[in-house]
Amino acid sequence: MSNTYDAIVVGLGAMGSASAYQLAKRGLSVLGLDQYAPPHSNGSTHGASRIMRLAIGEGEHYTPLSKRSYELFREIEQKTDTNLLNVTGMLTISAIDKATIQTEGEFFDKTVAAAKKYGIRHDVLSANEIRTYYPQFAVSDTERGYFEYEAGYLKPEDCIRAQLQLAVDNGCSINTNERVNNITSTARGTLVTTSANTYCADQIVLSAGPWLPELLEPQYESLFQPFRLVQYWFDIQEVYNEFTPEKFPIFFWQLPGIDEWTYGFPALNGPKGGFSLGVPDRSPTTTPDSIARSISSQEIEAVYREYVSRCFPKASKHCVKTSTCLYTATPDCEFVIDRLPHAPGIIICSPCSGHGFKHSAAIGESVAELVATGSSTIDLSAFSLSRLIANH
Ligand SMILES: Cc1cc2nc3c(=O)[nH]c(=O)nc-3n(C[C@H](O)[C@H](O)[C@H](O)COP(=O)(O)OP(=O)(O)OC[C@H]3O[C@@H](n4cnc5c(N)ncnc54)[C@H](O)[C@@H]3O)c2cc1C
């Protein structure tokens, strides 16, 4: 069999599995490569749940991606007869006086503005209304809420499985446990050298997540910094009925203080499974090889003290499970979906700054359009590489 393809996708996590499927769906000859066998728990896409919200407070340019992803995930569910997206509603809490929020102070207002602009069903709630509807959340009088009705959670591992299955069904070749060591642009295409072989393609989708810096030229490495993020599941057995998905929405809570926030999910695995939350990790940047994957009892105690007891006083201090993950942040915490200037056959499609999963199905579609036709339906200009190089 020939080793030449229209496109090679390097890395088959959230972005790569979506890209491989969408490329194959367009009739291109596609090879997908991964150093592991996705889904796996070494990168950015594991831990059983990812928030899906539609009105995006990170910036107006994201809502077209989230809305399209929502449609695509529903389509993928139908095509593969799997459950990927579950609607629970989402509660975003923030201080009324945004000057007390040190990070992303505009997030709440931008979320409400996006909901209004794109007709996304929502309510803005006072602290008293939050206490009435969701007494599990210990809000103060100086806080307010945004409730989005159609938000919910995605099952990240199942999303990858489903899209890889659809990629294969559409003729994509998938090689797992094959590491890409080198990518070189030549006059006859781009050569991809792996632990097993050398392949050639007109275009490469580089969706290597936290491993991306290793595959880039030195001048780009510092633009993509991997960080550690831990998900904690705390015991709620005694108050399980108050933490079920029917009673307890997904949440994002901007707390007063420097870089103080928490996000999380209801109890998704029965009374003994706990409810989960993530909090900022104070560790410096890391790498997939050097990240501390174990979680100390001191870390757990600190998360209970600083977040769980303060925000959800009915939860127990007993932590039933943890999961360590990596996310890759750019200097402005936005995405990069763009061609490399010195090698336009290579498209970077990975670093999603900790908020990329909800957009991944649409990112895969947009990247496939870029490869197939040279442009995408959704405007990707906000995710250019040049904005970071100019500011670097
Ligand atoms: C704890 C946590 C919680 C999050 N919560 C949310 C959320 O609620 N909502 C949301 O929208 N986003 C969330 N995110 C962000 C989201 O999960 C990421 O944006 C997304 O998963 C990134 O996927 P990726 O495809 O870029 O990386 P990955 O899924 O890590 O995929 C990269 C793949 O490339 C492969 N690879 C790398 N190098 C090579 C090589 N040299 N050769 C072959 N294969 C290679 C890897 O093996 C891997 O499979 C969260 C992130 C974390 C860490």
CATH number at residue 275: 3.30.9.10
Is 42 within the bounds of a domain? yes
Which pTM value belongs to this model? 0.96
Residue 71 located in a structural domain: no
Do 124 and 249 belong together in one domain? yes
Where is the domain boundary, 329, 359, 377? 329
Task: Please count the structural domains in the chain.
Answer: 2
Is 233 contained in some domain?
yes
Domain's final residue, options 286, 310, 329: 329
Report the candidate in 8, 14, 7 with the shortest Cα–Cα distance to residue 350.
14
Residues 264 and 137 in one domain: yes
pLDDT of 327: 94
> To 5 degrees, how large is the angle CA 13–CA 17–CA 23?
145
Residue of 62, 357, 358 to test ligand 1 pocket, by largest number of atoms within 8 Å of CB: 357
pLDDT at 104: 54
Probe target for ligand 1 pocket from 50, 252, 324, with the most ligand atoms within 8 Å of CB: 50
Predicted pLDDT of residue 283: 84
Task: Tell me, using a 6 A CB cutoff, whether residue 49 lines ligand 1.
Answer: no
357 inside domain: yes
Of the residues 329, 357, 381, which one is the last residue of a structural domain? 329
Give yes or no for a contact between 389 and 216, defined as CB atoms under 8 angstroms apart: no
pLDDT the model gives residue 317: 97
| Full domain range(s) for residue 351 | 4-47+156-223+332-391
Question: Atom 13, ligand 1: which residue's CA is nearest?
Answer: 355
Q: Which residues of the chain have pLDDT under 50?
A: 102
Q: Could you tell me how many residues make up the chain?
A: 392
Strand partners, 173: 31
Residues 145 and 18 in one domain: no
Residue 162 belongs to a domain: yes
Which pLDDT score, from 0 to 100, does residue 241 have?
Answer: 97
Are 145 and 236 part of one and the same domain?
Answer: yes
Residue pair 46/14 in contact by the 8 Å Cβ criterion = no
Q: Is the CB of 34 under 6 A from ligand 1?
A: yes
Q: Is residue 144, in this structure, part of any structural domain at all?
A: yes
CATH of the domain at 358: 3.50.50.60
**What is the Å distance from ligand 1's center to 363 Cα?**
13
Closest-CA residue, ligand 1 atom 24, reads 209
199 lines ligand 1 (CB under 6 A): no
Position 392 scores a pLDDT of 59
* Residue 323 placed within a domain: yes
Residue 122: φ, ψ to 5°: -155, 165
Cβ distance 11 to 211 under 8 Å? yes
pLDDT at 385: 95
User: Is the CB–ligand 1 distance for residue 323 below 6 Å?
Assistant: no
Q: What is the pLDDT of residue 221?
A: 87
In this structure, the answer to whether residues 246 and 283 fall within a common structural domain is yes
**Residues 178 and 285 both lie in one domain:** no
DSSP 149-187: TT-EEE-HHHHHHHHHHHHHHTT-EEE-S--EEEEEEET
> Which ligand 1 atom lies nearest to the CA of residue 229?
1
320 and 343 inside one domain = no
Q: 296 with 385, same domain?
A: no
Residue nearest to atom 37 of ligand 1 (CA): 208
Same domain, 128 and 240: yes
Backbone angles phi, psi at 324, to 5 degrees: -100, 135
Q: Which residues of 55-66 are buried (b: 16+ CB within 10 A; e: fewer)?
A: bbbbbebbbbbb
HSE-CB of 235 using CA atoms within 13 angstroms: 9
Residue 320 lies in a domain: yes
Q: Answer yes or no: do 238 and 177 share one domain.
A: no
| Residues 320 and 277 occupy one common structural domain | yes
Whether 238 and 325 map to the same domain: the answer is yes
